[in-house]
Amino acid sequence: MLSLIPKKSIYFRNEEFTLIKGDSFSLLNKIDKKSIDMIFADPPYFLSSGGISCSGGKQVSVDKGEWDKSLEITERLKYHRKWIRECREVLKDNGTIWISATLHSVYAIGVALEMEGFSIINNIIWQKTNPSPNLACRCFTHSTETVIWARKQLTPKKKGNHTFNYETMKVKNGGKQMKDVWDFNEVEPEFYVSAVTPQSEKKEGKHPTQKPLGLLKRIIEASTNEGDLILDPFNGSGTTGIAAVMLNRKYIGLEQEQEYLELSKRRLEAFKYRK
């Protein structure tokens, strides 16, 4: 499925975990069509415009890098449509895509999904019990993020027959149907799910938008089966890949920043060492 990817772009590869260095737009169209079972994407929120926030009781900049610089709405929509279009090509007809967003990006992403031939399954809200305070005091404190779950709209009347491990999620929710609002201040049988990324998951280094491992484990366990192939076009610190390996899935991550590729490798090696 990676025969078109230049060998020099394969940064790391073993039987279950592959990292490819480069820009997603130049790499996605080199992955075999309809070869991916599930995609998780955490695209730029386009919030790096000189704003400030609070971390550890200190005022800090919210700027994350050039890749997150603010864009006008028409440019944001164009950007999201482009990468979502490429993802649709590599996703199996019965596969699904999960996209992380905040209120600043979720609406453009939702429109882009529908314009590019997807049907939204769920709008997951995950609640943060310890959000950063609102320094301006001009609106309610932002304490949630959104994850959109979508499947292919194959024809006007036919949608992809996606995987949903309903019973597994029900068991993890104490025998009750799991809702679309996820409170991560809870205990599940195998692991503690944190509201924010715990420091224990940052021992090998940090990424400015790193997601909690528990969030990715739930997403992957809900919508894939063992042996499935998962793609993350914005690999970052490799959380999606670590969760995939933990759950006996296979992973491909696309990332253009050397430091985050190295961070992902260190995290994988640390996980395997702990095993």
Residue 2 in any domain: the answer is: no
Residue 108 in any domain: the answer is: yes
Query: pTM here?
Result: 0.88
- The lowest-confidence range among 26-40, 47-61, 68-82, 245-259 is 47-61
Structural domain of residue 234, as residue ranges? Answer: 7-274
- Is the pLDDT at 52 greater than 70? The verdict is no
pLDDT tens by residue, 177-211: 999 999 876 545 444 445 566 667 767 667 667 88
Residue 206 in any domain: the answer is: yes
Distance CA 147, CA 123 (A): 6
Residue 212 in any domain: the answer is: yes
Residue 248 in any domain: the answer is: yes
The H or E element that residue 86 is part of is helix 73-90
Residue 1 in any domain: the answer is: no
Angstrom CA distances, 101 to 28, 209, 225, 239, stand at 21, 11, 25, 16
Strand-pair category, 229-232 with 36-41: parallel
pLDDT tens by residue, 212-251: 899 999 999 999 999 999 999 999 999 999 999 999 999 9
Angstrom CA distances, 31 to 57, 67, 149, 230, stand at 44, 23, 22, 12
* Percent above pLDDT 90 for the chain: 65
Residue 198 in any domain: the answer is: yes
SS3 135: coil
For the domain that residue 149 is a member of, what is the CATH number?
A: 3.40.50.150
Q: How confident is the model at residue 268 (pLDDT cuts 50, 70, 90)?
A: very high
What average pLDDT does range 21-47 have in this prediction? 94
Angstrom CA distances, 172 to 123, 166, 189, 228, stand at 19, 10, 7, 21
Report whether 233 contacts 83 (CB < 8 A): yes
Burial category of 122 from C-beta neighbours within 10 Å (exposed 0-12, middle 13-18, buried 19 and up): middle
**Domain total of the chain:** 1
What average pLDDT does range 153-172 have in this prediction? 96
Q: How many residues does the chain have?
A: 275
